[in-house]
Structure 1
Amino acid sequence: MDIHGWQLWILAAIIGGALEMALPGFVVLWFAVGALVAALAAAIGLGINVQLTIFMLVSVALFAGSRTIFKKAFMRNASNMKTGVEAMVGQEALVTEALVDGHGGTVRINGELWSARSLGGGVAPGELVIVEQVEGLKLWVRRPAASLEVLPKQKKEGR
């Protein structure tokens, strides 16, 4: 039994297609398509160097093109997802320990207790506040009806 180069490329394409179905990510498909194009090159009698070059060029071009096209088509309306501390800004928090002018208090947000300072005067326990800024491990908050204020400038000690 004589095995030809185009048959090996077809086998590589079949294996690539099977891997594409088994693995997430939509990546192996383009290498399978590159193997099919290389199989055509082998079938018409082109040398192994030309086949490998065609395989690499087609695979890389399809991979790069698909990433660009998919990102433009499917992610055009997507906004940057905020996570962690960055996601807290704008959320409501429940005051658990009174926020007194000049001294902090405690608020509960996402099930966690955080030190907080008020931007608009004292706030009693049980009131809802909005997180305006996160500074280290301290939240700057305001009452929902309060107007937005500028954070007080703090002098850095030791500098």
Structure 2
Amino acid sequence: MDIHGWQLWILAAIIGGALEMALPGFVVLWFAVGALAAALIAALGLGINFQLLVFMAVSLALFAGSRTIFKKAFMRNASKMKTGVEAMVGHEAVVTEALVEGHGGTVRINGELWSARSLGGGVAAGELVVVEQVEGLKLWVRRPAASLEVSPKQKKEGR
């Protein structure tokens, strides 16, 4: 049995196609298409160096092109996902150790304790605050706007 180079490239393309169906993502398909292009070059009788060059060029061009096309098509309206400390800004935290003006305290946000300083005066333990900014490992917080409008004393009198 005589095996030709183009047959090996076809086999590589079939294996690549099978892997594409089995694995998540959309990557192996482009290498399978590159293998088909190399099989065509091998069938024309061109050398292994040219086959490898065509395989790499086609695979990488399709890979780079598809990423650009898919990103523009599917991610055009997507906002940048905030993670880590960047995601804390604007979220509420609970004061666990009173925030005394001029000194810090501690707040709990996302189940973690963070050092914090108040931007609007002292804040008692148990109150909700909103994270305004993150500076290193310290959160700068202030009371939510709604709690500034109606003080707890006014709530009790209004009942």
Residue 49 to residue 112, structure 1, CA distance change in 2 (3 Å): closer
Residue 3 to residue 79, structure 1, CA distance change in 2 (3 Å): same
Structure 2: give runs of 5+ residues left out of the alignment: none
Residue 19 to residue 75, structure 1, CA distance change in 2 (3 Å): same
**C-alpha displacement of 1:131:** 0.6
**C-alpha displacement of 1:32:** 0.7
Q: Name whichever of 17-26 and 72-81 sits farther off.
A: 17-26
Residue 143 to residue 153, structure 1, CA distance change in 2 (3 Å): closer
Residue 68 to residue 158, structure 1, CA distance change in 2 (3 Å): farther
Residue 47 to residue 138, structure 1, CA distance change in 2 (3 Å): closer
Deviation string, structure 1 residues 20-39 (Cα, Å, up to 9, x no partner): 22333322211111111222
Residue 146 to residue 157, structure 1, CA distance change in 2 (3 Å): closer
Q: Name whichever of 108-117 and 47-56 sits farther off.
A: 47-56
Contact 1:30 1:62 (C-alpha < 8 Å) held by counterparts: yes
SS class of match (1:146): helix
Q: Name whichever of 120-129 and 44-53 sits farther off.
A: 44-53
Distance 1:153 1:45 in 2: 90
SS class of match (1:130): strand
Aligned residues: 159
Deviation string, structure 1 residues 10-29 (Cα, Å, up to 9, x no partner): 11111111222233332221
Structure 1: give runs of 5+ residues left out of the alignment: none
Contact 1:119 1:149 (C-alpha < 8 Å) held by counterparts: no
**C-alpha displacement of 1:147:** 11
**C-alpha displacement of 1:41:** 2.6
Contact 1:42 1:51 (C-alpha < 8 Å) held by counterparts: yes
1:156 corresponding residue in structure 2: 156
Contact 1:94 1:109 (C-alpha < 8 Å) held by counterparts: yes
SS class of match (1:7): helix
Distance 1:86 1:60 in 2: 34
Distance 1:158 1:11 in 2: 80
SS class of match (1:132): strand
SS class of match (1:80): coil
Contact 1:13 1:31 (C-alpha < 8 Å) held by counterparts: yes
SS class of match (1:45): coil
**CA root-mean-square deviation:** 9.3
The structure with the greater share of residues assigned to helix is 2
**C-alpha displacement of 1:66:** 0.9
TM-score (norm 2): 0.81
